[in-house]
Amino acid sequence: MNIAVLDLGTNTFNLLIAQWQNMTLQTIENNKIAVKIGKGGIHKNQITEDAAERALNAIKLHKTTIDKYSVEKIIAIATSAFRTAKNASEIIDKINKQTGIDIEVISGEREAELIYLGVRQTLDIKDDNFLIVDIGGGSNELIIANSHKIIWKESYPLGMARLIERFQFSDPIKNSEIDQLNSYFDETMQSFSKILKKLEVKHLAGAEGAFESFINITKANNLGTLPSNNYTNKAITIDVSQFYQVQQLLQKSTLSERLSLPGLEPFRAEMIVPAGIFINYIVEKTKSQAISISPFSLKEGVAWDFFNNLNSI
């Protein structure tokens, strides 16, 4: 059977159409639409009228794609911006009336669990602990796990849309603003610092999104060689030095320069700088030497969870 998963994030609305074959998730369709529903309102716990209209139009467009396939189940999951918006329920009701799609707003804890189920499918790590990092527009999820289970998880309200609304960075960003950001991470993520003293983390895994931009920029600008394995359903591992090279390029650039940078999707141009600073913070905290970048995240976790539960009945 074919199912459709809608991951309604703060920056993008993602669509996955998939089926289950030979105990493996098979992707039929995978696309995204930049919506930025947090723009102008996320710091007020509000989704603006313009953002709500963009959300409705994006879901209608995704529904057009879904209708091309014999989809038996649609699962729509909303995350951080919907979790905190005071007017989320009325927007969800309007979307339901116009599209027939039911939207479930999930907790940060559940979001972390589903991200783990997605990313785990792409990693060739057996018994060692690994840290999964998912960078969103509204929240960032951190999960310490192994191939068998989650050991620790946390959802932090440090999404890139929230950081941009809060700090109003210069263009290009100043070193003093970077220091301010890192101090804010220290203050907000004390639980992460504490758990690192108790648990050894040997591998760092980034969940698609912003992490993929570093692969795409590396390829498009010939900034180094990348593994030749198929990125469709397996993670690609890059050396931290490759990440630093792209990170420095982005950090020194202006928004207009990033908008024309080969390999960087324009809708990520504003948020990729604080995203890179956050990744750098995690790399330094964990002393990681490499980053495995997974093509899977929340939506693939939702699909895996659905099929696994269906097959266990």
Is 162 a domain residue? yes
Q: Say if residue 100 is in the same domain as residue 117.
A: no
Radius of gyration for the alpha carbons in the chain, expressed in angstroms and rounded:
19
Q: Is the dihedral of CA 246, 248, 252, 255 positive or negative?
A: positive
pLDDT reading at 13 higher than 90: yes
311 band by pLDDT with thresholds 50, 70 and 90: confident
| CATH for 235 | 3.30.420.150
Specify whether 102 is located in the same domain as 114: no
Whether 96 and 129 share a structural domain: no
Do 91 and 119 sit in the same domain of this protein? no
Residue 313 lies in a domain: no
Which domain does 14 fall in, by range?
2-106
Say yes or no: 151 and 251 in one domain.
yes
Dist. CA 237–CA 293, nearest whole Å: 6
The pLDDT tens digits for 103-115 are 999 999 999 999 9
Q: Stretch 126-143: mean pLDDT, rounded? A: 94
pLDDT for the residue 203: 94
In-domain check, residue 304:
no
Q: How far is CA 108 from CA 78, 154, 205, in A?
A: 10, 7, 19
> Do 110 and 80 touch, CB atoms closer than 8 A?
no
Quote the pLDDT of residue 313: 56
Are both 154 and 255 inside the same structural domain? yes
Per the DSSP assignment, residues forming a β-bridge with 19 are 26
Give the integer Cα–Cα distance in Å for 218 and 196.
30
Note the pLDDT tens digit of each residue in 36-87.
999 999 989 999 999 999 999 999 999 999 999 999 999 999 999 999 999 9
pLDDT in tens, 22-32: 888 999 999 99
